[in-house]
Structure 1
Amino acid sequence: MSDLCCKLKRVSPYTVELGEGPHYDEKTGRLYHVDLVKGGCYYLDTKTGTYESIYFAPGLTLIVPIEGKKDKFVITQNQSLFSLDWSTKGLEFITCVDSGQDTRVNDGKCDSKGRLWFGTMNWERKPGYFERGIGNLYLIDSDRKLTRKQDNLTISNGLAWSSDNRKFFFIDSIERQVWAYDYDHETGNISNRKTCFDYNGLPDFVSNEVPDGMTIDLHDKLWVTSFNGGKVTRFDPETGKVLGIIKTPASKTTSATWGGDDFRTLYLTSATFGASKEELSLQPDAGAVFSVTFEQENIRGSKNHSFKLN
């Protein structure tokens, strides 16, 4: 295992408490993301460095453009999904999930058919304590039909699909594992879950380090951010072999997505939430957005998909 040859730099002039849900819009060059703790929606213009933010109640974890509708996005707030009109800051209710459970939506993104996949998890009412098995993984299609795809989850997190749409990858952070499913692209069915990467027992992963957000490159290698690990790990889901590591300036690195010219830039979000004063004094860039570019020209990803909503 070796460090990847790359250039990492801070690109946001601001920091957030808990950055999540990065989504790069290739039409505008804007990187959208949220702050779960403050309830902020942000876009960062990756060409100019300018940015804009809108604030709602805490509990936001994703922001995804709605296809064909300018300045319209789907966002989450606790157990609910809304469409956001950025220009008016107005919200329109779409649906809610997990009625009667002490959960909230966590990570989510769209497949290539424009269906939104997202998971839920227990609220952290006590530091470091999560009730196990009450989270779920959902799919919502363009007609707002909601389907539960997986239950008995604790901290639903990163999602990705292989380039041939035959595999779906998903993280439960509390299990410290990345799972691979067989994926039926037409129906959205997932089956035959297997563990393709396991943080447990690995000498280079500390005991409180967990897999968080995730993306995939055009070689079908997964990139997983480490909360409490200060790194991004590239690994082969077929063999489970670690292919390289990027060390980051923030121990709580939260999520990743591809963007930039030809999607050769990896964007990372991070957090200050849960860090001690000593940690923050040593990590002045914690909570910022970072970009990573590579010396190997063959490393690149693909575009993020928008939500198709009728």
Structure 2
Amino acid sequence: MINVLFAAQADRWEKYEHPLHTAFADLGLKVDLRTYHAPDTVDYIVYAPNSDVQDFTPFTRCKAVLNLWAGVENVVGNPTLTQPLARMVDPGMTRGMVEWVTGHVLRHHLGMDRNIKDQNGQWHPYIPPLAQDRRVTVLGLGELGTACARAIAGLGFPVTGWSRSAKQIDGITCLHGSDGLKTALERADILVLLLPTTPATENTLNGETLKLLPTGAFIINPGRGPLIDDDAVLAALDTGHVAHATLDVFRIEPLPPEHPFWAHPRVTVTPHIASETRPVTSAQVIAENVRRGEAGEDFLYLVDRKAGY
């Protein structure tokens, strides 16, 4: 019997209990899945960083910690966590992110807000450019960024992607390093941020880097709140250098009612809904990693502790 501890908030257990049991059974795994096991009997932890488990020292038998979230910034630096840590790469989450990002890219490209918000009885025809004439840059070429970049390119947009290390993706102009970031920003008529949060990525968009964007650029951030300097983005919006910012993630969530993003006419706030881990598909990823652990195979999506993701 494989002992699996589900360490997350109570509402998560209600959503994940059945899909996890089903996924384990589909792989022929005999699993005792509970919200409590004696720590020294636990083989795997299905983990959310906001759970009560913060000290991993007692889990002496644990073979891996399997994160429920794509982001691991709230757990990767835990000094008690010596077990292998796997981040969540969920096909359902990826699909949701692709749909949200492509929807907002097309919204800004087509100028849809003109018609949605400005029904004032005046006839002002506006013909948007074709996709081939609007450049899109995606910062971050992990699973989510790569999937979004490919989908956007599939719609006919010229897409530049940027990552810390060199990558090669068919149909995408891939850049890396500091010089590559400068070029990627200069090409960003629409900029999508899908970087992880690390000390190196905080305030990627700041007073200096925002100046590199073409005048009238659009910013779409479904990645992480700390990727942008809020005040610098507001200043760029006020001058018109940035035409609009669509933001799904924030430094403080829920976003406080008094935050200026709420009232700014060139900001769209969405409440961290760009993508969500889907219980059925993520349970299948977790079950596969447990199977791999029991078979002595490499785990999927292991976190690079030095890189932080």
The answer to whether the superposition gives a TM-score over 0.5 is: no
Greater fraction of residues in strand = 1
TM-score band w.r.t. shorter chain: under 0.3
Larger Rg: 2
